Amino acid sequence: MKLVAPLANINDYEELVDAGADEFFCGFIPFDLLEQHNAFAPINRREFLIDDCNIGNFCALKILSKKIEQYKIPVKMTFNSLYYTWSDYPKLINLITVLIDLGFDTFIMADPALILYIK
C-alpha cells in the first residue's frame, strides 16, 4: 500500500516522510501571478487562497525541491481545476515549465483541454 499525503507547508515535509508518506501532492498558487492577472481562483482544487493549503512562492518550491532530492520522496503538483479559460493556458504552460526546471516532473490534471494543449 502506498501512502499519498497532501502537502500544504514545506516545513511539514520531513515530519510526514518520517511518519511514512510515500509521496505527496501539492497545490501551488503563485500569489504574484494571481495579483498580476487579477485572478480570483486558484489553479487547482485546493480553493482556499488565504488558509495554509497551498504553497505560494517560488522560493518555497526551491527549498522543497532540495528536500525531495535529499529524501527521494516525490511531490506531484496539482493543476486539477475542472477547466481553465483559453487565456490561462499559456500562463499555465509557462508555470509548468518553471516547475519542471525546478525538478517537479509529475502533475495531477483534471482538464482534458489543458492536457491536449500541453500535448
Ordered per-residue pLDDT tens for the chain, 119 residues:
899 999 988 999 999 999 999 999 988 877 666 665 555 555 666 555 555 667 878 899 999 999 999 999 999 999 888 888 888 888 889 999 999 999 999 999 989 999 999 98
C-alpha torsion angle, residues 74, 113, 92, 17 (rounded to 10): -10
Parallel, antiparallel, or unpaired for β 23-27 and 75-79?
A: parallel
> What is the residue whose three cell numbers read 496539482?
78
The pLDDT assigned to 53 comes to: 66
Q: What pTM, to 2 d.p., does this model score? A: 0.83
The pLDDT assigned to 68 comes to: 97
The DSSP output letter for 96 is: H
The pLDDT assigned to 40 comes to: 54
Cα separations (Å) of 7 from 69, 97, 116?
Answer: 16, 21, 27
Measured in whole angstroms, how far is the alpha carbon of residue 40 from the centre of its chain? 17
Q: At what angle do helices 88-102 and 58-71 cross, to 10 degrees?
A: 40
